[in-house]
Structures are given as structure tokens and as C-alpha cells.
Chain A
């Protein structure tokens, strides 16, 4: 028997199963604080892979590192709302107190400081993860205490001042996270009695369940809005050894956190939705792909699953239905926005780098382990369970004719009441801003960076698939904010999160960012606006997956809706301005040689 906690025992526990590579890497990272070249080689040998394949997966995800990440690895969120709420001061407080810069560890290897993309806490920023434990509403004073705690060798969990509300305070969670539920709607956030949906589902046929979901006109809540009933029907019809239900709980779009609240407060509704889906498509297994940032919820969710098995709501002969077996496994991610894209998620769930697949074949044909799979968002599955519980007609009575039901929105940014709002489709942005206490917004980002930035003139537009479709991220940008900084933050996000597979997204987004910065610096011309738009269109058209196909949106939608802002930044009547200041660039050389370039040397030829 290999020694407890040794690499050999980790490999044995995962049955040397190559598809469990990410699970194995998570354990090794947690135990050793990094994945050393020696560990990578040993894992490779154990799984029958080449070392470079293991290194490839290990270097793909934010939360794995080849060098020791620090006894305490601090990941500070760098999304725009964190910036709005004082990230800069918090970051420098960390650097000052710890005595190292971001991207480094302290010389003794105790503390490592890193930046990371949105961690799903936009309503309580600035926030950070320290060894997987969430810290919210950070201030320089709190940072000082945290660093003192780390230097004293304290347990990270013991550094939490107080736990949040609801299940955040549960023994297996004990997180300082707050739910901030501002409006409970009837579909998702209303209370739910375990068994209410599954017991009804097994009384009708799987086809009957699909018909009810189709009748309800449920459209996917993950962003793309594909009809859920139809997806289940396609999946059911496909032949395969096994069928799978995968719940997409990657929730990586900056500014969304509603799935986190659902997972915390309505997990039974979600599990029931997955079980109903399993019944409908003929699956015996479901996976909950939970983003690595939400790993703190995993032990709690595991305990609930165990309870459901005891109550015969999971396992064999569920609710007494002969021949219906279904169980749910939790799969954790490790920090990669692109893993929310369904085919990248499937790759990640089967132990690979989170790189999207080519389609066709679609997941319903060839999904998890290349078997027929329905991938659905957390909220979609909850809504499906509720439809079975209460009926399609009840559901369709809410919302608009084309967008039935409600939508759970994550509202953050410059508003008095950030948090989660479950509202009927069709609600205007103006009404939402009133509810959230941000009526004087200069701009509202709908659907996160990949969505659209709208101006005050468009506040009468409605949240609905037929108007402003959104996965639920709403970022309020108040008066006085520099909108360019918001756009830059979003573009940096896409540059960072591109999986790097295809040329337009990998090579094109850095070029867009650079062009944007040229315009922001005041060195742009009207031609730069034309060029950046044209480059953005090329990237959208040519990219392989939804990430690249939407990555230029922060620029394109603001040029469309805030054109005057761009025009005021560029110099009219000029065709060309150099991107850099020659005099500035050669300053050092000038000082040495005594030769002076006047700034006008580079410009006068155009006068």
C-alpha cells in the first residue's frame, strides 16, 4: 500500500484514470503547493501519458503552478468592480505588508501574491481567495491583519471574522460570503420541497417530461438561449453506451454570481433539475462542473448529495421508479473562464486542457467521454425542475411571449443594493436600476464583457431574449467613471482568458488591446477608430468559439453607443500619429550623447 498522501496513493485512489487528471492535479497542488517537474513526470508515468501532456494541463489553469505558489497563495480578483471598490489600495497593502510584489512569493516562500479573473463575488468586492478560502470586502486595514495572521502561521479559515448569511454559515461551508438576495422570484429562489419535482416526473414518461419542458418554452439561461426541451430531445434520441447530464456551474463571466447563490441556497432544486434531466434523456450519471473558485461549497454539496441518496432521491430505483438510477458527481475546475464554454468544459471534465472542441459533433451527440450529453446551466436546470413541479402553464404565465419565466440577475458596480434579483423577463433596465439604487448610471454593462454596454438613452430596453439577452451579469457604471478603463479591463480579461488555440482570438485580442490603449493615450486618429472596428469584426467572424466571437464586444458596443467618447479622444483632421513619442523613447540615449530630438521632429512632416 502506498503511503497515505503520497503521489502513488493519490493516483491509486483515482484508479490511474487518465480522465481524472485535473482531479489529481488539484490534489497534488493542494498538498505540495505546486506541481513540480518530478511530480508531473510521476503522474505521467502513472497514467500512461507523456510528461508534456501533464505539464500541458497543469500550465493551462490559473490555480496550478509549476513553482511553489506559497504556503499561503493569495489570488486577488482584478475585475473592474473590484477596481471600482478600491482594489488598488488593497493590492498595495498586500504588497507592503507581505513584502513581495504580485506574481511573486516572499523570499521565505510563505506568501505568494497573484491576480486572478472574476471570482464570482462582485457584490462584495474587493475579494480574494487565499488557499481557496474567500475573503470579501477587503480594505487595507483588513489586509494588514490577514498578513499578520499568515506570518503567525494561522489557519486560513480561522482568519475569517464572521460567516455570511444562510448556508454560508453552515458547518461545512463557514464562508464570509453573503448571499445578498434582494428579490426572490417564484421560479428559482422561492422555497422548494425536496422530491416535489422528481416524484412528479417519474409518474410520467421521459417523453412526457420533455414535452412539458418544451411546452414551457424554457430557453437556456447560460447565455446562448437554446431551447432546453429540444436539447434534451436531441440527447435522448442519440445512441450511445451512456448518456450524461452535465450542469455548467463554471460561472466565469465577470459580474455574474447568481449561480453561486443558487448553489448555496437552492442546491436541492438544482439536484432535482439534474435528476429530472437524467430521467428525460436516459442518463444514469450527472456531473456538476463547479468552478474552482467555488470549491469552498463542495464539501457542503457532497453532504447534501449523500442525504439525497439516503432519501432515495438519488441512486437506484429513484422515488420507487423501476429502472431509474441516477447519481451526481461533483467535478471541480481550476481557474479558466473558457471552461464555461460547454465543449471546453467537457474537455476539462475528462482531464484535458480546457480547449473547446470543433462542432459538429455537438455535445448532445458526443459530449462527456464522447457520449451523448446535455450541458445545462445551473439556473436552467432549476427552472426545469420547477416546471415539472408546477406545470408549463404556470411558468409561461410569467415573462414575455418569447421569453417565458424569470431571470436571476447578478447586479453589481455603482449601485446601493448590489446582489441577486429574480425578475420576470421583460423588465426594463431603468426599472432594474431603480430597484438596485443606481438610477444615475452613465452606462450599464449587460451580460458581462461578452455582452453589450448600453447608454442612458437605452434604459427603456428590456431584459429578454428578444431584446437584451443576458446570462445575468449586470454591471452598473456610475457617473464619473472613466468608461475607457472599464473597456480596457474587459479586453485584458479576454487577452488573458483566451485558450490560445486559434489565431484571431489569441493573436488578435492583444492587438485590439494595444490599439485601444493607443486611442486612450490621446495618440489616436479617426483612422484608428475605423481600424479597431474592422479588426474587431475580423476577430468576431473568424474565431473558433464563443469567447473569441464576443471578445471585441466591449470595444464594438461602446463605439456604437458612445461614439462621441472615442471621437473626443482622437485628433481630428490627422491621418497619422506615431504610437510612441520619439523624444521620450530616446531620452536615455539623448542624455548620454547630448543629441536632442524635439518632439516636433516626428510630427512636423504632416503639418
Chain B
């Protein structure tokens, strides 16, 4: 047995925190009861650094908290007005990049994009709506891909794999034309449980399991009750 390494200390907005060596800023902050907003992150998946909402500032440099390891003595800026505004801008970019008609969405109330918009008190995006032409596509037998809402967080690409470790979801093209797609054969072979899981893990209403969209009515969903991040902050007390 190698001897356990000492914990490292760091600060978030001046608050003293401690972390295990190798932890990312995001994990370590969470363990210390500090919420750093994030959208593409999913516990247990390799961090993607795709949404950049968890960007923090250390010594004037910007870095994604989900991929950057904590180092001893690090002074992290998190809840500061200019940074929060830049994060809010990213949320706004996502709203104008796709077509998000929340009142008609199966995910409303359980949607992390919507929940972050509330948390950041977003009223109207500062950016003009792009109204891209996007489609709804069947993806195998069990699910639909609602491309209007996809924010390319890559959770599905990272997380949904077959038993022999083949990716069921993938990305096509690049730039603003980038698009999520599936291997039709593998997607049809998903079990009901896997399909359900894919839908639940999608932060928005882009992966829809056929026939179950409105099982829980709007108003009784997760973020209808309390803001996103409350669980982390409650733990700190």
C-alpha cells in the first residue's frame, strides 16, 4: 500500500477548502459544499469541457473546473460578477443557437439548461435568436432525437455504449453544423432501461424515449421545486 497522500488546501472566493490530490476543481468544490454550475458534466463520465459553464479563474487565467486538477494553494475565483455574467452568456448562446420552446417541451422542469437559466436570472438572451432549421429524427426503435434542443454536451456520446464498448451515439460534422447521431442498429438494440437512462441523462429534451414524454406533469418536476445546485449548497448548510 502506498501511503495516503496529504490533502491539499485551496480557496474558492477566499473560502478555505481542502481536496484529495488529483481531484478536479469542480469535484473538490462540491465536496466543500460549493456549487460551480456545469452543464455537460455527468458524475462518472470522463469530463468533456464542452459547455464551459464551469469556467473559473485562477491567477487571471480561465479554466474549466471540470477538467482542471486542484493544486496546493490554488486561489479559485468562482462566484464573482464578471465571471457569472460570462457563464450566463454561454447559457444564452445555447438558447439562441437552438430552438428551445420550453412550454411545449417534455423535459420542462427537469431540464438543466432551463434550470440554469433560472438560476442565472436570464430573462431575454443578449444575442439574437438564430432559428436554425433542425429536425426531429427517429434514432433506432426506442428513442427520438429532438435536434432543436440538443446542446452537444456529449453526455450521450460518452455514456451510452454497448456491452462490447461500441459507442451508440456519435457526432457528425463540425462547427455550428455539428450534430448528434446514432448507430441505427445499435440504437435499436438498446434495452428499455438503457433508453430511459439515455433520456434521463440528457440535460435537455433532446433524447426522448418514445411514448413516455409527459408521464410526470409539468409543475411537479425536479427543478420546479428548488433551483439547480440546491443539493450541493444544502450539504454545506
Contacts and interface: CB of A to CB of B under 8 A. Distances in A.
Interface of A: 44, 48-53, 55-56, 59-60, 336, 353, 358, 360, 495-504, 506-508, 510-511, 514, 531, 535, 538, 541-544, 579
B86 interface: yes
A215 to B, nearest CB: 30
A510 B93 CA distance: 10
A510 B89 contact: no
29 contacts: A50-B166, A50-B167, A50-B186, A51-B185, A55-B170, A56-B181, A59-B173, A60-B173, A60-B174, A358-B64, A501-B48, A503-B94, A503-B151, A503-B152, A504-B90, A506-B97, A508-B93, A510-B130, A531-B126, A535-B89, A535-B127, A538-B86, A538-B89, A538-B90, A542-B55, A542-B62, A542-B86, A543-B52, A544-B50
B69 interface: yes
Which 3 pairs between the two chains have the least Cβ-Cβ distance? A52-B170, A500-B178, A50-B183
B93 A511 contact: yes
Nearest to A338: B174
Given A498-B176, A506-B178, A544 B52 contact: yes
Nearest to A356: B49
A508 B162 CA distance: 34
Contact of B172 (A56, A495, A504, A579): A56
Interface in B47-64: 47-53, 55, 62, 64
B47 A503 contact: no
Contact of B174 (A498, A508, A541, A579): A498
B167 A507 contact: no
Interface in B121-148: 126-128, 130
Given A503-B94, A535-B89, A542-B62, A53 B170 contact: yes
Interface of B: 47-53, 55, 62, 64, 67-69, 86, 89-90, 93-94, 96-97, 126-128, 130, 151-152, 162, 166-178, 181-186
Contacts of A541: 55, 62, 86
Contacts of B67: 358
Contact of A511 (B128, B167, B183): B128
Given A50-B183, A507-B94, A502 B51 contact: yes
A48 B170 CA distance: 15
Contacts of A506: 97, 152, 175-176, 178
B160 to A, nearest CB: 11
Task: Give the most central of B51, B86, B171, B176: most A CB within 10 Å.
Answer: B171
B96 A511 contact: yes
B170 A502 contact: no
Given A358-B67, A360-B69, A500 B177 contact: yes
A495 B175 contact: yes
A50 B168 contact: yes
A579 B93 contact: no
Contacts of A504: 52, 90, 93
Nearest to B47: A358
A503 B127 CA distance: 14
A510 to B, nearest CB: 5
B126 to A, nearest CB: 7
Nearest to B174: A500
B78 to A, nearest CB: 14
Contacts of A59: 172-174
B175 A52 contact: no
Nearest to A52: B170
B178 to A, nearest CB: 3
B84 to A, nearest CB: 12
B159 to A, nearest CB: 14
Contacts of B90: 503-504, 538, 542
Contacts of A497: 175
B128 A579 contact: yes
Contacts of B152: 500-501, 503, 506
A502 B47 CA distance: 12
A511 B176 CA distance: 11
Nearest to B95: A507
Contact of A53 (B86, B93, B127, B167): B167
Contacts of B173: 59-60, 500
Given A497-B175, A511-B96, A544-B64, A52 B167 contact: yes
Contacts of A44: 183
A542 B93 CA distance: 12
A83 to B, nearest CB: 21
Given A52-B181, A506-B97, A507-B96, 18 more contacts: A44-B183, A48-B166, A49-B166, A50-B167, A53-B170, A56-B171, A59-B174, A358-B67, A500-B178, A502-B52, A503-B53, A503-B94, A506-B178, A538-B86, A541-B62, A542-B90, A544-B49, A544-B50
Contacts of A535: 89, 127
Contacts of A508: 93
Contacts of B169: 52
B23 to A, nearest CB: 13
A55 B172 contact: yes
A53 B126 CA distance: 36
A59 B49 CA distance: 22
A287 to B, nearest CB: 23
Contacts of A336: 174
A345 to B, nearest CB: 15
Given A360-B69, A544-B49, A579-B128, A496 B93 contact: no
A387 B48 CA distance: 40
A506 B55 CA distance: 16
A498 B175 contact: yes
A51 B181 CA distance: 10
A51 B183 contact: yes
B188 to A, nearest CB: 12
A49 B128 CA distance: 40
A227 to B, nearest CB: 19
A51 B172 CA distance: 11
A563 to B, nearest CB: 22
Contacts of B178: 500, 506
Contact of B175 (A50, A55, A496, A538): A496
